Structure 1
Amino acid sequence: MTDSAFATDEFIRERLAAWQRELGSVRRLAPKTLEAYDRDLGQFMAFLAGHMGGPVTLSSLQQLRGADIRAFMAQRRNESLGSRSLARVLSALKSFFGFLERQGTLTTEALNVVRTPKIPRSLPKALTVVEAKRTIETTNELEDRPWIAARDMAVISLCYGAGLRISEALSLTRADLDTDTLRVTGKGGKVRMVPLIAPVRQAIETYLGLVPYKLWPEDGLFRGVRGGVLSPRLIQLRLEQLRGALGLPPSATPHALRHSFATHLLGKGGDLRAIQELLGHASLSSTQIYTAVDTERLLESYAKAHPRG
């Protein structure tokens, strides 16, 4: 805890370290989330130390009021922190104080009177069906080396045809691949089985037939030119090339293909809970945003096609 190293006494530092260990080993939060939570708590403890005129102790936390937390949140907003980041800060605080309560160390009502900042709702930028298909089909035309063209096509096919995050696609091993399904490790180490439709399976098989490196079961499925694990930046650059070649908007990214997968499934009558499972969303609310995307597209089509649109 860099920010709180001199802002807390030894007991609170120990509690912070124990909380971090629980987040990593029990809750298995992603490294970047752990880093953000660690930073948020460090800044909060540094604020409290200045606010209360000395290192934060258990007694300090017992005297904590909602006004203290609101003052900290106001300071962070004045430092140009957005609503989404402020919501994460509050989530980190609730997580830590919840940990203290479970440990029987401290109980406080201060956080219960602080409202979570409203986060502006931003809809995913999905491609049309035609744009998504053209993106995949054009991949081979931008690369002279057949195995690299096949590799990039297979990765992009997984993003659109199986709804994978780019990080999930590039973390696949040869052992994760079955004839009809794919074993995907998502956020928090959660594993899900994703069915492979014929075009995606064929794209992967084509790549496997051309890749010049031996792929052992435990090795990464997708390789770079020198045989190492493929960097996501190379796929992002390939999408940049495709955007230029096809005249697609800047929002056409690998993640946009995942959004397109969900939006197009929903548009064809796909079950929302089934889509949730395929995407690996922990909460249905994360998947429900696609109902708004599909409605937006429907209204656009209606406005264009209706005689009085």
Structure 2
Amino acid sequence: MISPALTAALDRWLEHERALNGAARNTITAYQRDLLGFLAFMQSHHGESQGLGAITRLSVTDMRAWMAHERGRGLSARSLARALSAVKAFYRWLSDREGFEATAVLSTRAPRFNARLPRPLDEAAAARVLDTVELQAREPWVAARDVAVVTLLWGCGLRISEALALTGADVPLPETLRVTGKGGRQRLVPVLPAARAAVADYLKLCPHPMAPDLPLFRGVRGGALGPRPIQKVMEAVRLQLGLPATATPHALRHSFATHLLNAGGDLRAIQELLGHASLSTTQTYTAVDAARLMEVYDRAHPRA
């Protein structure tokens, strides 16, 4: 059983990550799950309740035992690396406040894994996806809805959660849309005429009432549309077009970034459009190779 003091410390850290570091709700949930799993293992491993005092005395051997246990139950190297990152962040915060040495935890090396690079669609494939999405639904308004969402993903680089978070207050879509992304970070995104037209077509056909405080995209019963129907549409489309399993709604966001870069877009500008906190994330999303980076560098650097 995790002690009340340790539970309170974990809650305070999660609130710190939420309030000061701007961690998204899904990130907070993942952190909490990873830490509770870690602490539960340590309790079982040591056969005693895990209080603040107990967890300050963990050794390298304890950390190795936890990692071996996680791999033994089938956790991937990637997922274990993520969990270890959460454990380290918590210990770094806790050691600063409680004044103990956390070297055994902080020096633990994450398992190696091959990063899964996103695979954007080429421009022709992305255009075929849009054309084919329209053919999937029997109800014209549902077809128009799906086209509008997918157009926002590819044409504006929105995350699916960002597109589905739009409300009646956002329509008619302006030429520049203010979007709230991960960590509550806001950004301005230009909206292509095609995206505005797709949303307008959907609104003409949607049978459900629209109001500023209601979700823009609706399910068949009128509630807020969730991501699963869009994911299912993409699954059907990629089977029909013979596209790989990586052709997901999120791949359209990758495609948006890659197509902009290939057309000569600046990495920093694309970073802003995507709402990334780090340029390295943008580089990964755009599948940039070293030659392309040097090309951007040579064109942009004042000494070039």
Q: Which residue of 1 aligns with 2:170?
A: 176
Gapped regions of structure 1 (runs ≥ 5): 1-5, 298-309
Residue 208 (structure 2) aligns with: 213
* Greater displacement, 280-289 / 43-52: 43-52
| Unmatched runs of 5 consecutive residues or more in structure 2 | 293-304
Q: What value does the CA root-mean-square deviation take over the aligned residues?
A: 2.4
Query: In the alignment, which of 215, 223, 228 is matched to residue 223 of structure 2?
Result: 228
Between 94-103 and 16-25, the greater mean CA deviation after superposition: 16-25
Provide the C-alpha distance between the structure 1 equivalents of 2:43 and 2:261, rounded to a whole number of angstroms.
Answer: 50
| 1:250 shift after superposition | 2.7
Cα distance in 2 between the residues matched to 1:142 and 1:48: 50
Which residue of structure 2 lines up, in the alignment, with residue 90 of structure 1? Answer: 84
* Cα shift readout 1:59-115 (whole Å, capped 9, x = no counterpart): 323322233222211221222211111111111112211221343453422233212
**Secondary structure of residue in 1 paired with 2:158:** coil
Give the paired residue count. 291
> More deviation in 70-79 or 287-296?
287-296
Within 5 A, what are the aligned runs for 1:139-218?
A: 139-177=133-171, 178-218=173-213
**1:197 to 1:68, Cα distance in 2 relative to 1, 3 A:** same
**1:295 to 1:235, Cα distance in 2 relative to 1, 3 A:** farther
Please give the residue correspondences for 1:1-309 in structure 2 after superposition, counting only pairs within 5 Å. Answer: 6=1, 8-177=2-171, 178-290=173-285, 292=287
1:176–1:66 Cα change, 3 Å: farther
SS in 1 for 2:166: coil
Aligned partners of 2:94, 2:84: CA distance in 1, in Å? 15
Deviation at 1:295, TM superposition (A): 7.3
Normalization by structure 1: what TM-score?
Answer: 0.84
TM-superposed CA distance for 1:137, in Å, is 2.3
Q: Is the 8 A contact 2:179 2:187 kept in 1?
A: yes
C-alpha contact (below 8 Å) 1:161/1:197 kept by paired residues: yes
**1:215-239 deviations in whole A, cap 9, x for unaligned?**
2122111112222111222212222
Query: Any idea what the Cα deviations from partners look like across 1:264-288, whole Å, max 9, x if unmatched?
Result: 1111121111111111222111111
Kept after mapping to 1: 8 A contact 2:133/2:237: yes
Using the aligned pairs only, state the percent identity.
49
SS at match of 1:141: coil
